[in-house]
Amino acid sequence: MNETSGGKRSRGKSGCLIPLVVSAVGLVVLMLIALRPPVDDAVAQARAIDLKNRGRGVWAAILIANNEREAQGLPPVWPDDVQYGNPPQPMQWQSAAQYFRYLMSAKNYTGDPRQAVPVNVPEERIVPDLNPDMLSGAGVPNAPTVEEFSDRYCAWHVARVGQNTRMIVPFLISKNVHLQGGSLELHGDGETLMTLDRTPPFGRKRVVWITLGGGCFDARAKYISESRFFGYDERDYAYSGTTNRIDVIPCRQR
């Protein structure tokens, strides 16, 4: 009799524990669901910081190269300052990768910049401090080799800026920003939100951009109005009537 009653008591305790375990598991699941948005936001913010740092490095590498070229009597290599032909004309870049491949090509290259092939030795490049790893990030993979660099391994659209462009104008723009006919335009009072594509590096959640002056910015989609992106406040736009259109060299492969 004792053994039988003991067995019943044991089974009774197990039966009581099962609902407790189920409740605990349910509580953990609810906590994970509640924590997911903050965790996702933290991850996105970390990726944005990483991409800003890489973009700032790209900007700095070009700036250093331009300073060295100026001392040698050579023109800068901002996108709109690169010329080719007879007589020389500003380059009509077809993709962001074309521009960056040119910057990583040999200093003594004199052919069509759009056909330039990157070289392995950094010191021999037009922009010695630029490398493919600086052009990827935030979910955009690194190029296996410098020669294989293409739009697939590039995180950026590139604005057609030059030495006479205002410093607040964006230069590098994360390639999830939607382009309309190869340009970005400021509409009306500039309060329209930027249009984003469901593509890397951030989809429709966030934008990162680097200005020609070296400013690094990122914003969540719901805060990125055209006026903020273009660098105008309402008074500046109304008073100066300055550029409200940016021509962009697209990163074609998303």
Specify the higher pLDDT residue, 60 or 245.
60
Q: How many domains does the chain contain in total? A: 1
Inside any domain, residue 234: yes
Inside any domain, residue 15: no
Answer yes or no: are the C-beta atoms of 169 and 245 closer than 8 Å.
no
- Boundaries of domain holding 114: 43-249
- Distance, in Å, from the CA atom of 195 to the CA atom of 68, rounded to the nearest integer, reads 38
Inside any domain, residue 220: yes
Position 201 confidence tier, pLDDT thresholds 50, 70, 90:
very high
Answer yes or no: are the C-beta atoms of 137 and 50 closer than 8 Å.
yes
Answer yes or no: are the C-beta atoms of 214 and 152 closer than 8 Å.
no
Rg of the chain over Cα atoms, rounded to whole angstroms, equals 26
- Distance, in Å, from the CA atom of 170 to the CA atom of 246, rounded to the nearest integer, reads 8
pLDDT over 90 (residue 40):
no
Answer yes or no: are the C-beta atoms of 127 and 77 closer than 8 Å.
yes
Specify the higher pLDDT residue, 234 or 56.
56
Position 240 confidence tier, pLDDT thresholds 50, 70, 90:
very low
Kindly state the tokens that stand for 227.
């006026």
Inside any domain, residue 25: no
Stretch 147-160: mean pLDDT: 96
- Residues 164-176: tens digit of each pLDDT: 988 988 999 999 9
Specify the higher pLDDT residue, 10 or 71.
71
Give every CB contact of residue 222 below 8 A, 6+ residues apart in sequence.
193
Inside any domain, residue 2: no
- Residues 84-117: tens digit of each pLDDT: 988 999 999 999 999 999 999 999 999 999 999 9
Kindly state the tokens that stand for 232.
């105008």
pLDDT over 50 (residue 18):
yes
The count of other CB atoms within 10 Å of the CB of residue 138 is: 21
Inside any domain, residue 35: no
- Distance, in Å, from the CA atom of 79 to the CA atom of 16, rounded to the nearest integer, reads 72
> Could you say which DSSP state residue 194 is in?
P
DSSP 42-99: HHHHHHHHHHHHHHHHHHHHHHHHHHHHHHTTPPP-SGGG-EETTTTEE-----HHHH
Inside any domain, residue 57: yes
- Distance, in Å, from the CA atom of 195 to the CA atom of 203, rounded to the nearest integer, reads 10
- Distance, in Å, from the CA atom of 126 to the CA atom of 130, rounded to the nearest integer, reads 9
pLDDT over 70 (residue 22):
no
Inside any domain, residue 190: yes
